[in-house]
A and B are shown apart, each in its own frame.
Chain A
């Protein structure tokens, strides 16, 4: 039945439906009524839906932790390589979307698929290197000037560096993803301390496998010094090995937790003499509590 004007009952239904507060049975009945092309009730509902959408804006804005941005990037990277967003089923705003089996399958896609684009990128880079090399040989045979050859050699070197960086990034993302697809995981952000407040690190902790994937951004270590990672338990500080950042200060490490390590309350990275130390001698560069 279509309405010429809104009734009290239908207004209640529209308000409660917009808030998601009707019972399932009532919601279906109201949807059926809307499906009969009652424009009066449809217009009422749309206005209440806009009111509901605005209520969220009354809530205090709170900045999320910075590491979530990185996690989102990793997750979307994985999604992008398993399915195009255009292929997702279209859900009309603001209705509640359903979780389809396809999406669940995509979220659990094997890492082999995830790495495929990196492999393609690597293949392209290799092809480019080969082309540059052939071109270089041709230029040589044609006796062209040395400056041009030097420029091509520099380009070749840059491409090799780029290839190495992409390969390292690919390996790191694969390790982080392996943690994030575990049944239980935790992220421990580590904050920069006094010697280098801008430093940071993160531990991606695969709880069932007792495995850590650690990423760190640190300043270059002074000559004769190295960075060392520590498990901090209530009883002791136990070395978790050295971290060797690259030229840009980015370090990456995967490690298994030692059996019987006990309750790890925190983790820290310190600067130590070359070869590492039995016990931390300070200073602490980054520190994070596990709970």
Chain B
């Protein structure tokens, strides 16, 4: 059984953002603006990757922070860092928009092709913790086999179910499940320093 997340596992930035979320829960609009200023470029990057269209991504971004405003009281530090909470809302919202079928996705570039954007748009405030974590996640994804990364990306970014992935790839369902399980286990192993709060 996993032990509760120790407060020491939160770095200073996480603590600051968690404090902002608590103020948002109390109805402090300026705290939401500060949180938006600090995190929106990360959240927007993910939404853009999921929906693949800037205009749609902008609508979803507003939805994400509006939802954060409404549900800040539900944020639980024991279950994840503030940015992870926002990213989870962002992915859910983005995939909801994809599934709504109201528009057709155009951008199907792989994750790696957006690396240049990171290099040119990262802010001076982007601290070393985020850079280190991003590097670790990239390394972890690189450590997967092409087949494992493919199924995880189709589930994560496109919101496809295992049977939809199997259909898309022309692979048996059991193969997709196995690749997903092995890929996720490898990611967990590679990301253990982050999961254990060392970064």
Residue from the list B36, B40, B75, B185 in contact with A11, Cβ < 8 A: B185
Q: Which parts of B66-91 form the interface with A (CB within 8 Å)? A: 66-67, 69-76, 79-81, 83-85, 87-91
How many angstroms from the CA of A53 to the CA of B5 in the assembled complex? 15
Q: Which parts of B6-30 form the interface with A (CB within 8 Å)? A: 24-27, 29
How many angstroms from the CA of A72 to the CA of B1 in the assembled complex? 40
How many angstroms from the CA of A84 to the CA of B26 in the assembled complex? 9
Question: Which B residue's beta carbon lies closest to that of A67?
Answer: B58
How many angstroms from the CA of A50 to the CA of B195 in the assembled complex? 7
Contact B111 A58 (CB under 8 A): yes
Residue from the list B76, B178, B191 in contact with A93, Cβ < 8 A: B76
* Residue A94, interface by CB 8 Å: yes
Interface string of B14-52 (1 = CB under 8 A from A): 000000000011110100110011001110111011000
Interface string of A1-33 (1 = CB under 8 A from B): 000000010011001101111110000000000
> Interface segment, A75-83, A149-157, A208-216?
A75-83
Q: Which parts of B153-197 form the interface with A (CB within 8 Å)? A: 155-156, 159-163, 165, 177-178, 180-181, 183-185, 187-188, 191, 194-195
- B residues contacting the other copy or chain, number (CB 8 A): 83
Interface string of A61-105 (1 = CB under 8 A from B): 111110011011101110110001110101111101100000100
Distance from A138 Cβ to chain B, minimum over Cβ atoms (Å): 38
* Residue B143, interface by CB 8 Å: no
Residue from the list A12, A15, A51, A61 in contact with B41, Cβ < 8 A: A61
* Residue A39, interface by CB 8 Å: yes
Residue from the list A56, A79, A103 in contact with B46, Cβ < 8 A: A56
> Interface segment, A40-48, A161-169, A225-233, A258-266?
A40-48
In the complex, chain A residues whose CB is within 8 Å of the CB of B105: none
| Main secondary structure on A side of the interface with B | helix
In the complex, chain A residues whose CB is within 8 Å of the CB of B62: 68, 71-72, 75
* Residue A60, interface by CB 8 Å: yes
In the complex, chain A residues whose CB is within 8 Å of the CB of B108: none
- Given A60-B49, A85-B71, do A94 and B79 touch, yes or no (CB 8 Å)? yes
In the complex, chain A residues whose CB is within 8 Å of the CB of B177: 12, 16
Distance from A75 Cβ to chain B, minimum over Cβ atoms (Å): 6
Contact B1 A85 (CB under 8 A): no
In the complex, chain A residues whose CB is within 8 Å of the CB of B73: 85-86, 88, 90
In the complex, chain B residues whose CB is within 8 Å of the CB of A147: none
Contact A79 B185 (CB under 8 A): no
* Residue A36, interface by CB 8 Å: no
Question: Which A residue's beta carbon lies closest to that of B72?
Answer: A85
* Residue A221, interface by CB 8 Å: no
How many angstroms from the CA of A7 to the CA of B70 in the assembled complex? 38
Contact A57 B42 (CB under 8 A): yes
Contact B42 A72 (CB under 8 A): no
Contact B137 A54 (CB under 8 A): yes
| Main secondary structure on B side of the interface with A | helix
Contact A63 B80 (CB under 8 A): no
* Residue B118, interface by CB 8 Å: yes
Residue from the list A58, A64, A69 in contact with B33, Cβ < 8 A: A69
How many angstroms from the CA of A53 to the CA of B87 in the assembled complex? 7
Contact A23 B163 (CB under 8 A): yes
How many angstroms from the CA of A54 to the CA of B194 in the assembled complex? 9
- Given A47-B2, A91-B74, do A58 and B41 touch, yes or no (CB 8 Å)? no
Contact A85 B25 (CB under 8 A): yes
* Residue B122, interface by CB 8 Å: yes
* Residue A142, interface by CB 8 Å: no
Contact A58 B138 (CB under 8 A): yes
Q: Which 3 pairs, one residue from A and one from B, show the smallest C-beta to C-beta distance? A: A56-B87, A53-B84, A60-B118
For this complex, 17 residue pairs linking A to B, each with C-beta atoms less than 8 Å apart, are A8-B181, A15-B183, A19-B156, A21-B162, A56-B88, A61-B41, A61-B121, A62-B44, A62-B45, A76-B32, A85-B69, A88-B70, A90-B71, A91-B74, A92-B74, A94-B88, A97-B92
> Using a CB–CB distance below 8 Å, which chain A residues touch chain B?
8, 11-12, 15-16, 18-23, 39, 42-43, 46-65, 68-69, 71-73, 75-77, 79-80, 84-86, 88, 90-94, 96-97, 103
